[in-house]
Amino acid sequence: MPCHAESAIGRAYYSMLHTAQALLREKDLRYRKHAGVHAAYGQYFAATKRLDPKFHRWMLAAFNKRIKGEYDVDPGIDMETTVLTIGQAREFLEAAKAYLEESQ
């Protein structure tokens, strides 16, 4: 059973994934797989700099941490990394909300 840090990393990643999905849905784009969301978000938001490309990097890093946390025998995810990732997820969500408000 994963520790709290590993579980929280997964939730922070899913927050980023759902944020990216919401942004893509505003463009009538829907993807069923994580890789599709990652690639489309990179194409439509990071590469175009509609939103800071750091959010794309953070989402991909959080995905890798989630995979490690869920499937590695000894993932070694510490609380400091977890707190940083949660903060990144919050910042991404706030930037997405501001972007959506501006585009209406």
pLDDT digits (tens, 9 = 90+) for 32-65: 999 999 999 999 999 999 999 999 999 999 999 9
Domain span including residue 23: 4-102
- Percent of the chain surpassing pLDDT 70: 97
Query: What does the alpha-carbon distance between residue 13 and residue 92 come to, in Å, rounded to a whole number?
Result: 11
Query: What does the alpha-carbon distance between residue 92 and residue 20 come to, in Å, rounded to a whole number?
Result: 9
Query: What does the alpha-carbon distance between residue 44 and residue 8 come to, in Å, rounded to a whole number?
Result: 28
Number of domains, the chain: 1
Which residue would you say has higher pLDDT here, 74 or 36?
36
pTM recorded for the entire structure: 0.92
Q: Looking at residue 1, what is its pLDDT?
A: 36
CATH number for 97? 1.20.120
